[in-house]
Amino acid sequence: MAQHFPFSNPLNKTLNTTRRHLNIRDLAVDKKYLTRDKIIGKQVIDAKAMIIGTVRDLAFDLVAKDFSLLVTTQDKDEIKVESDNVVVIGDVILLKTTTAPPEAPETPEAPPTPSPPPKPSKPTAPGLCPECGYQNEASNKFCIKCGSKL
């Protein structure tokens, strides 16, 4: 019979083996740190459980002693997520609010391209191939040059 023992995490809190995340508030209180390597590459998820993108880099504000996540969205745009908007960093990064990706500038619609003139459905002369234009004998059912049906 297997016994399950609680494990201790670096924050000196009991950690259930199925719960694998760190709360940002716990990090601030206990002054624990995450390395840059552990954050870069993580997916960023908004409050509606939608994938925003992937963390590309970190930006630090030395005056306010704060950080932001530089996130590459699925549309290859880059957005900045402030640390105030981060709820949890674990296997993914969960945000408090929904972050809308930057809107793309409106591009005017291109005028529709003119369609090519329709092909004539029937050849005018008997035995004339509609595909290659070769003049076959009137009794032929297929073009002897390209094999199309006459």
- pTM comes to 0.47
Please give the Cα distance from 17 to 38 (Å, whole number). Answer: 19
Give 23-55 pLDDT, tens digit per residue. Answer: 655 555 556 778 889 999 999 999 999 999 999
pLDDT score at 53: 94
CATH of 9-95, one of 2.30.30.240, 3.50.50.100, 3.60.15.10, 3.40.470.10: 2.30.30.240
Question: What is the sign, positive or negative, of the torsion defined by CA atoms of 138, 140, 146, 150?
Answer: positive
Question: What is the sign, positive or negative, of the torsion defined by CA atoms of 35, 36, 38, 43?
Answer: positive
pLDDT score at 25: 56
Q: Which helix (H) or strand (E) holds 52?
A: strand 51-61
pLDDT band (50, 70, 90) for residue 132: confident
Give 94-121 pLDDT, tens digit per residue. Answer: 999 876 544 555 666 666 777 776 665 5
Domain ranges of the chain: 9-95, 123-150
Q: Are 93 and 42 in contact (CB under 8 A)?
A: yes
